[in-house]
Structure 1
Amino acid sequence: MPGTQSAVSLTDVSKTYYRGEPVYALDGVSLEIPRGSYTAIMGPSGTGKSTLMNLVGCLDTPTSGRVSIDGRDAGGLSDRERTRLRGSEIGFVFQTFNLMPRLTALENVRLPQLFQDVPRGERTDRARTLLERVGLADRTEHFPNELSGGQRQRVALARALVNDPAIVLADEPSGNLDTETEAEVLDLFSEFHEAGTTLVVVTHERHVAERADRIVHLLDGAIERIERLDASDSTDGDRDRSSGAAP
């Protein structure tokens, strides 16, 4: 991957949907997500969190502004190129796991490797190693319906990481888990972040967001403020909506 400082950069990004009349989902959002950082996104329902994730994940394109993923302007790519970028540079973890029911845990983890020009044996070794790292060495040949919710989320995390992406996006990753299992999964997120993975997590839960280095608070399609949780960062923890790009 290119050696850029930011995994993701949004510059004056707006997104408008037309449903009889215009709906302004995002309005002039600028945000830098440094490589290796851990960012949480919070805000009321309908404030633009899902739209922001879709743009960062190259599942949608902005109405105006620029979204760069690992130094590449996503808006300037064709649909096929964006698909390949998603497959190679972005990992996804969903609240509902989104595992293929007829594939084993190992086969589910290997799916994103279809975008990689890597020998089959190496792909399998990588997938197996990640399942071992998330504590599922003895579940590689189990199907999703044979796994608990926490185990399925661990498979989803391993799948998100299998291509060593520039960024991992997680949408309410602990929403379907009990308290004990949630803590185990969030501990895994923290472990991978400490190893250098760039994480962006959308959550409604304050205790989940507090695992991050900073919390980006959205309101009415704009960044209301950025709350910094990393004690080593001496910069001001809040930024109002009119102060320009967020570092």
Structure 2
Amino acid sequence: MTELQKHGRLDCRDCFNSPDATIKPHPKWKLRNDPGSWGSRNPRIMVVGFSKGSTQSDIYQSGNFDDVAFGGQETRRNLTDILRRVKLLSPLETSDQKIKETEQEFYFTSLVRCSCARIDEKESLEKGREVYKTSGELMVKSFKEIPWIISNCTQKYLSSIPSSVDLVCLLGVTDPYIRQCRNLFRFLYPDGFKEIDAVTYRTKNFLCVHLTHPSKGNGTIKAWLNADTRNPSESSRKKASAIKREMAINSITTNGLARI
């Protein structure tokens, strides 16, 4: 049976044509060589971000490896809340407990294993120096501006997901990002691919569900977690987040994938 990459740092420089640790694959992008994998090699559930943020990348360089994936106290706490909300963690479980080499059910990774950062033109102009960002709109812009980076990484690491996997949770719920990820998985797994709803699609062997991102910079995470679709006083924006949450919960539970 195919297995995922072993928990730990990965020896991969496929996108690097020089010995440098950081390269510019595009005039607006930087790529730092710091790939890794966390958790079980034959999991039931995969949790997939886009790339490391600056906090996670810095931990990779000088901290404890187990602290890298979705690292930072607030991000880890948010990830715990998200996974509990969709019935993948019990009230007594945390993401910290799962992002370990000894983990059996979960695997944590990203579409791009190395750290991506894109220049923020507006802030760079205001500050008179180059300012790079690692979250937000860059996730969608990457599919147009550095598609070969995404293609290299996903075809190498996500094109042979083992048969043990029933559920892939992709973190990010903006419509453009969902559309790009859906197209990516349709390309990687054309056999039996099917769209289910606005946040869910499936391949022949596993279900893909989009959940909100745990980044502390995610301004809609509270609405995704707590907004009530039946409350007439809720704003349309908050209700939109709540609807995507309810779709995710429904997909996970009706397919028998909830853990609690």
Counting strand residues as a fraction of each chain, which structure ranks higher?
1
Higher relative contact order at CA 8 Å, sep ≥6: structure 1 or structure 2?
A: 1
